[in-house]
Amino acid sequence: MPLLETVGLSKSFDGLRAISNLDVDIEAGSIHGLIGPNGSGKSTFFNLVTGVYQPDPGSKIFFDGHDITRSPSHQIGALGIARTFQLLRLFSEMTVLQNVMVGYHTHVPYGFLSTIFNNSAIIKKDAETTDEMMELLEFIGLADYAGMPASELSGGQRRLLSLGRAMAMRPKLLMLDEPAAGLSPVNVENLLAIVMSLKERFGLTVLIVEHILKVVMETCDTVTVLDYGEKIGEGTPEEVKDDHAVIEAYLGQEMDDDEVRATFDS
Amino acid sequence: MFYRETGQFKTNYQKDQQVFPIAQDRVFVALLLIVAFGVVPFVANEYWLQAILIPFLIFSLAAVGLNLLTGYAGQVSLGTGAFMAVGAYATYKITTNIPEINIIIVFLLSGGIAALVGILFGLPSLRIKGFYLAVATLAAQFFILWLFNKVGWFYNDNPSGTITAPPRTLFGIMISGPRATAEVRYFVALIFLVGFTIVAKNIVRGRIGRSWMAIRDMDIAAEIIGIEPLKTKLMAFAVSSFYCGVAGALSVFVWLGSAETEAFDIFLSFQILFMIIIGGLGSIMGSIVGAAFITLVPIFLTNAPALFGLPISTDLSKHIEEIVFGGLIVYLLIVEPHGFARLWQIGKEKLRQWPFPY
């Protein structure tokens, strides 16, 4: 059974169909790529799955045996879906450590009264959480910056932190929205290496939206291609690369010489 | 040279997360408390206590409360005065109807009532943000004061329309009413401030404080991480209003003695807001420093001409006070938009490196 499954997923904004009738299965343990030209509905898909947008009637989203079609975002997060944002959306005034500790929130249940009186159990729990989070920061290479406000990190470090914050939620499914955008090739390699090792270590399933096709082709097991909100191709990276419809969406229609001449003459 | 962590090793994160990780800070705060509890009440005269120190303590409490909401949870409120009024009127109603309940417990109950009212007027925060929310909380300010003015039940239908603090004792000592001494009332306000400041500090450095800050910094990301915006924002409104409610109750029962709704008008709300802006949003200590600045500086400015022997009439010195005070606020905000708390932080960094900044 797939970990995440959408059935007939649709979303329209004032009549504009951003996603129409999309069926996607994401197998547990796989790295799944989602590609498509600008405006093809990739980010809308993310927002629908994480509950930022409400899908149109008739759509269904299942995650790990739960129907999450109408669940609010915070419940979806607690079930085990974590995501990063294209624009990162870090908690900029909070320290690096606090950023990841917020990510761990759903795993530290304690009440209001015990917080007020700050009893020893809470202090102990907080210290344990800190230990665990420092370990995570160590893993992604940000441990040295733990006490620094997130706004003072460099661009690459922020991207790592947004990944760390998502990982702190101990998710089953990690959704990365253009993780490599704006990174230099060396940093992209580094980031992918970290994602791969996190996947191995925690048995993650990963969904990547990415513009840099090289990243998708090298890392993904399965790739889904969207265009105008519809699925136009799916398969292994090799299969997708040779798919006629995909080439058309990315590079435009193949024309023979006569057609080209006709286009220019008119 | 003397202010640094050198030699103070932390062996676990528990110690690292202490309220004051540096030993010198702990000493400084301890000294401050010793002076506040052991020296001030025996040195200060009636005027100092009644006109300067007690209001400073009470406004500090309200400022800490507002800072929890605005500085930490990022929800701007202009209803502080009204929430303080709720606390004051609730205390009046409860203690005049059921005099048997200990007045301290009544203060806390009234804080609870203010918290409920705060939750009610916090509901719009789920939909509106920033300036728009500030305008929505103005509704609370005007509606609540209008209600307390209009409906006689709130002031027991007495003809003057004011609420008056009845004599109430704690352990046989008069702490409220006309016969309570200024020293005792000072102690009551001080104990409340210290106790609630510690609680506030515990809240903001724990999980709840982090969820408030997450909502403040980036609400969409916070929600996807599993923080419920509804619960988190309303909790911030409740806690903040609780603090304001207790401060309002104290302002009538251990400071003014009697009050009308005018004591809690929009200017009070603005004053408390200025305190946290000048002190530093998102800083507990900053709230108290800001309250000190806003309450103490005007008093100093009013008395300064007389102090230096300048022959200036009182109304002129009052005008000068307003000009200088306004100018000071503008100057401070230009020099350091993040308030005294940031100045203090920068000062500490400098002190740590002194005298070898490289």
In a domain, A7, yes or no: yes
Confidence band (pLDDT; 50, 70, 90) for B182?
Answer: confident
Q: Element (H or E) spanning A66, and its range?
A: strand A66-67
According to the model, what pLDDT value does residue B350 have?
A: 78
| CATH number of residue A189's parent domain | 3.40.50.300
Confidence band (pLDDT; 50, 70, 90) for B15?
Answer: low
| Chain B residues inside the 8 Å CB shell of A134 | 13
Burial A71-90 (b: 16+ CB within 10 A, else e): bebbebbbbbbbbbbbebbb
**Side chain identity at residue B352, one-letter code:** R
Average pLDDT over chain B reads 86
In a domain, A89, yes or no: no
In a domain, A11, yes or no: yes
In a domain, A205, yes or no: yes
| Chain A residues inside the 8 Å CB shell of B235 | 112
In a domain, A200, yes or no: yes
What value does the mean pLDDT take over residues A59-85? 92
Our CA-based measurement puts residue A122 at a distance from the nearest CA of chain B, in whole angstroms, of 9
Q: Going along chain B, which residue ranges are E strands?
A: 163-164, 168-170, 173-176, 258-259
The answer to whether residue A183 scores a pLDDT higher than 70 is yes
* Each residue's pLDDT tens digit, B118-130: 999 999 888 888 8
Sequence-distant (≥ 6) Cβ neighbours of residue A72 within 8 angstroms: A51, B223, B228
What value does the mean pLDDT take over residues A127-141? 89
Clarify whether residues A51 and A33 are in a common domain: yes
User: Does A108 contact chain B (CB < 8 Å)?
Assistant: yes
According to the model, what pLDDT value does residue B113 have?
A: 97
Span of B104-118, B119-133, B188-202, B293-307 with lowest mean pLDDT: B293-307
Clarify whether residues A205 and A247 are in a common domain: yes
User: Does A117 contact chain B (CB < 8 Å)?
Assistant: yes
Clarify whether residues A110 and A45 are in a common domain: no
According to the model, what pLDDT value does residue A95 have?
A: 92
Clarify whether residues A62 and A192 are in a common domain: yes
Please identify, among A132, A155, A170, the residue that sits at the C-terminal boundary of a domain.
A170
For residues B333 and B122, the model is more confident at: B122
How far, in Å, CA of A68 to CA of A90, rounded? 25
In a domain, A151, yes or no: yes
**Helices B339-353 and B266-279: angle between axes, nearest 10 degrees:** 20
Three-point CA angle B218, B220, B225, nearest 5°: 95
Our CA-based measurement puts residue B97 at a distance from the nearest CA of chain A, in whole angstroms, of 29
For residues A209 and A123, the model is more confident at: A209
What value does the mean pLDDT take over residues A94-120? 78
What phi and psi values does residue A108 have, to the nearest 5 degrees?
-120, 85
Which residue, among A87, A98, A102, would best test binding to B if mutated, counting the most B CBs under 10 Å from its CB? A102
The answer to whether residue B4 scores a pLDDT higher than 80 is no
| Chain B residues inside the 8 Å CB shell of A103 | 225
Please identify, among A170, A201, A228, the residue that sits at the C-terminal boundary of a domain.
A170
Average pLDDT over chain A reads 86
* Each residue's pLDDT tens digit, A217-261: 888 999 999 888 889 889 898 888 888 777 777 766 655 666 656
Which residue, among B218, B224, B239, B345, would best test binding to A if mutated, counting the most A CBs under 10 Å from its CB? B224
Please identify, among A104, A139, A170, the residue that sits at the C-terminal boundary of a domain.
A170
Residue B198, SS3 per DSSP: helix
By Cβ distance, the residue of B203, B217, B226 closest to A169 is B226
Give me the total of CB pairs closer than 8 Å, taking one residue from chain A and one from chain B. 105
Task: Report CB contact under 8 Å: A50, B224.
Answer: yes
What value does the mean pLDDT take over residues B50-59? 92
Clarify whether residues A133 and A198 are in a common domain: no
In a domain, A87, yes or no: no
Clarify whether residues A70 and A18 are in a common domain: yes
Three-point CA angle B351, B353, B357, nearest 5°: 125
Task: Report CB contact under 8 Å: A126, B207.
Answer: yes
Q: What is the interface pTM, i.e. ipTM, of the complex?
A: 0.85
The answer to whether residue B348 scores a pLDDT higher than 90 is no
Clarify whether residues A74 and A109 are in a common domain: no
According to the model, what pLDDT value does residue A219 have?
A: 86
According to the model, what pLDDT value does residue B1 have?
A: 42
Our CA-based measurement puts residue A10 at a distance from the nearest CA of chain B, in whole angstroms, of 21
What percentage of chain B has pLDDT greater than the value 90? 40
The answer to whether residue B305 scores a pLDDT higher than 90 is no
Clarify whether residues A32 and A132 are in a common domain: no
Q: Which domain holds residue A220?
A: 1-80+171-266
For residues B250 and A191, the model is more confident at: B250
By Cβ distance, the residue of A52, A75, A106 closest to B220 is A52
According to the model, what pLDDT value does residue B9 have?
A: 58
Which of B138, B141, B135, B84 shows the shortest CA–CA distance to B113?
B84
What value does the mean pLDDT take over residues B58-82? 94
The answer to whether residue A37 scores a pLDDT higher than 70 is yes
Number of domains in chain A: 2
* Each residue's pLDDT tens digit, A184-197: 888 888 888 898 99
Confidence band (pLDDT; 50, 70, 90) for A3?
Answer: very high
Clarify whether residues A28 and A74 are in a common domain: yes
Clarify whether residues A48 and A160 are in a common domain: no
The answer to whether residue B302 scores a pLDDT higher than 70 is yes
